[in-house]
Amino acid sequence: MRYRTLGPSGLLVSELCLGTMTFGGSDGMWGQIGQLRQDEADRLVKAAYDAGINFIDTANVYAGGESERILGQAIHNLGIPRDEVVVATKVLGPMGEGPNARGASRAHILAQAKASLQRLQMDHIDLYQIHGFDPLTPIVETLEALDTLVRQGHVRYIGLSNWAAWQIVKAVGITEARKLAPILSLQAYYTLVGRDLEREIVPMLRSEGIGLMVWSPLAGGFLSGKYSGGNTANDGRRAGFDFPPVDLARGDAAIAVMRGIASAKTCTVAQVALAWLLHQPVVTSVIVGAKRIDQLQDNIRSTEVALTAEDLAALDRVTKLPAEYPGWMLERQSQYRAPFASQKG
């Protein structure tokens, strides 16, 4: 397992992060995603920790708080030293019936941080993330609430999830101008069949030095290969929870190329998908979830898959985004300065 610094910090996190969305579900959407009970979760956390994964992600909204509770208890049950794991959780979604029991307001953030700490049985959260953009709350209010938590010692670092590039840059500007706790990371969807963030978000992350945590790296199971060719499979997550959306024609073409690479390297299609992400310089950590030990171990073996330049080129050809304005114009006009690029100090 390799480790990378999270954004502009000295915090080292494993290149794979254990996702806990499968912990604690009972009915509805969370039940479809996963219904792991405490003993099953304990085994998954142990397998991840033993493999060198020191990064674990959850959210208050997962199974109505059960995921956080089970994760905290698992760390306690296994006797894992608190300073040997980086625990990330998130806030935004509804945690009650009232209008203020959701969103990124100061009131909701402070209340939910306290609730998350209680469920996790911890005195601090390593990475506290805003789970999405709240159009009703001023960004400055959200950022000042997060800064309060950092100054109080309840939160060590802050991050965002599912924000647009312009929203993130605006937030970065506010934190710098007001000397608030900096934004270290973005958690976002990125896969071979979902490369949309390469248009605006990836260049922004590189410019600002912000780390990227990837959620749903197998596109909700699609990149396992079992859903390609019109096969809907009735035993997987996408059978009852068809998310994230996938362009099936482009997806099937990608799977065909991935099968060839997987065959040549004696690995699985899923491992190729994860390895591709691990080869992207912008990616800090890839979040992998599982319902069974063998699934997790299969994902972990992706760290051993080395893709060649030819492999990466073949995957790029079949999944590359179509040209879109202003990208194609920016590329064209940047050629005016290309002869002098090597002279940049």
By annotation, the residues acting in catalysis are 62
The 3-state secondary structure of the chain, one letter per residue = CCEEECCCCCCEEECEEEECCCECCCCHHHHHHCCECHHHHHHHHHHHHHCCCCEEECCCCHHHHHHHHHHHHHHHHHCCCHHHCEEEEEECCCCCCCCCCCCCCHHHHHHHHHHHHHHHCCCCEEEEEECCCCCCCCHHHHHHHHHHHHHHCCEEEEEEECCCHHHHHHHHHHHHHHCCCCEEEEEEECECCECHHHCCHHHHHHHHCCEEEEECCCCCCHHHCCCCCCCCCCCCHHHHCCCCCCCHHHHHHHHHHHHHHHHHHCCCHHHHHHHHHHCCCCEEEEEECCCCHHHHHHHHHHHHCCCCHHHHHHHHHHHCCCCCCCHHHHHHHHCCCHHHHHHCC
- Residue in this structure with the two tokens 């959200």, named with its chain if needed: 142
Taking the alpha carbons at both ends of the chain, their separation in whole angstroms is: 35
Kindly state the tokens that stand for 255. Answer: 């799977």
Sign of the CA dihedral with 326 first, then 327, 329, and 334 last: positive
**Paired residues of 13 in beta bridges:** 4
Q: What does the longest C-alpha to C-alpha distance in the chain come to?
A: 61
CA–CA distance, 61 with 64 (Å, rounded to integer): 5
Q: Say how many residues make up the chain.
A: 345
The torsion region of residue 142 among left (phi > 0), alpha (psi -120 to 50) and beta comes to: alpha
